[in-house]
Amino acid sequence: MAILLAFALGLVTGGIGAREYFGLGSRPLGSPSVKATLPPSVAAAQSDIGKVAQAVIASTVYIESYSGNEGGSGTGFIYRADGVIVTNAHVITPTGEVAKEINVTVPSGERFTAEVLGYTHDYDIAVLKIDAKELSALPLADSDTIAVGDQVVAVGAPLGLAGTVTTGIISATNRPVRSGDAEIQSFINAVQTDAAINPGNSGGPLVNMSGQMIGLNSAIAQPVNSNQQSVGSIGLGFAIPSSQVKHSADEILDKGYATYPVMGIMVDMSDRRAGAKVLEDSGSTKGIVAGGPADNAGLKAGDRILFVNGKRIGSVTEFIVYLRSLQAGQEVAIVAERNGEQIEATISLQEQRAK
C-alpha cells in the first residue's frame, strides 16, 4: 500500500478544543494512577513502563502556537533545566512562518511564553527558551546504539491530551523519510516505531526503557488520498534520532542556527530510478556548483550516484537523508555512473546553513 507522511501536529481546533472538552484546563500534565491485581510477570512489565512514563512526563511539555486565528499544538521536551525546550520546527511554524505567540505548559501546569532561539526545517528541529529554572531535563541516549525490537515509550499531547503515554518497539532504524510539502520539506534518517503516534505528538520524546530519549517524534504515515486532519496512528510513526537532535540543538544554542553537509550539487527530485541523478544543466540552472566539493572531485551534471561510502543508494530521498546524517568536513567515497561506465571520487563535505 502506498503511504505518505504527515506531521504529527495537532490543529488548534483539535488541540485546544480537546483540553477544554476533557476539562484539563491548566491542570498538571501527569496522569492518574490505576491500581489492579495483575499476574506478577505482567505487573513487573507494567511497573517498568510506569516508572519510565512517570519520569519522562516530568520532562515533557505541551506547546501551543498561534498567529491570529490560526495555529496548532504539539509537544516538546526539557533539554536543559534552565528552561531550554526542544521540539519540532513545524510545531512552532503551523502556518509556514514562526507563530506570533508560542506558549509552553510545563508538567506542573504552569504556562510560559516561549522565545524561539532558532530552528531548522531541514532537520525539523526547534529550540525554545522559557523563563523557568530547576526543571527536570530529559537525558539523551546515543541513538546509534538502538536496535530493532527494543521496547520504547512515547509521550506526547495527541489532540491536546498532554501526558499521554503509548508503548511499542523500534520497528526499523535508518529509515529515509521525507515529510512536509512542496515549499517546506524535512529529510530525516528516521527511527520507525509502532508506538501510537497521533496528531499533537510532534516534538514529544521517544524513550528507551531507561527513560532516555532516543528520538523526537515527528511524522506519521497515512494512506494516500486520506485527509491529514483526520489521520491517526496506523502503527507507522517516525522519530528524529537523538544524535541528530543533540547535534542540531547544540548548534542552534551555540550559533543561533543549524547546519548540514553538502557536496555542491543539485539532484533531480523528479527522477525515479535507483541512485541519485545530478541535475542536468539547463540555462542558468547548473547541476554542479562551480568550485564546490563535487566539482573539485570531477563529478559532472547528469552523473548518477550509485554508492556513498559503500552504501547503495536506492532513491534521491535516500541519498539526501544519508548525506544529511553525516557531518561537514567528512570525506565520502562516491561511485557514480556516467555514460554507462562507473567512476569513483572522494569528496570532502562542506558546511551549509540550514533553512
- The tens digit of pLDDT for each residue in 286-337 reads 999 999 999 999 999 999 999 999 999 999 999 999 999 999 999 999 999 9
Dihedral class, residue 26 (left if φ above 0, else alpha if ψ from -120 to 50, else beta): alpha
Q: What is the pLDDT of residues 119-148, one digit of tens each?
A: 999 999 999 999 999 999 999 999 999 999
- Which is catalytic among the residues 124, 143, 179, 248? 124
77 and 29 in a common domain: yes
Read off the C-alpha cell for 194.
509502532
Whether residue 294 sits in one domain with residue 244: no
Residues 181 and 153 in one domain: yes
For position 279, which CATH number holds? 2.30.42.10
Question: Over 90: is that where the pLDDT of 230 sits?
Answer: no
Check residue 93 and give its pLDDT.
93
| pLDDT at residue 48 in the model | 87
Q: Is there a catalytic annotation at residue 202?
A: yes
| 233, 6 Cβ separation under 8 angstroms | no
Of all residues in the chain, what percent are helix, strand and coil, respectively (each to 5)? 20, 40, 40
Question: Is 150 assigned a catalytic role?
Answer: no
Q: What is the mean pLDDT of residues 91-100?
A: 92
**Strand 213-223 to 3-7 pairing:** antiparallel
Share of the chain above pLDDT 90, in %: 69
How many domains are there within the chain?
2
Catalytic residue among 65, 202, 218, 243: 202
231 and 273 inside one domain: no
Say if residues 113 and 69 touch (Cβ distance below 8 Å).
no
Query: What digits encode the pLDDT tens for the residues 141-185?
Result: 999 999 999 999 999 998 888 889 999 999 999 998 887 765 677
Containing structural domain, residue 285: 259-353
Distance CA 158, CA 72 (A): 11
Check 90, 143, 242, 248 and give the catalytic one: 90
Distance from C-alpha of 42 to C-alpha of 296, rounded to nearest angstrom = 61
83 or 187, which is more confident? 83
209 and 325 assigned to the same domain: no
Does the annotation count 124 as an active-site position? Answer: yes
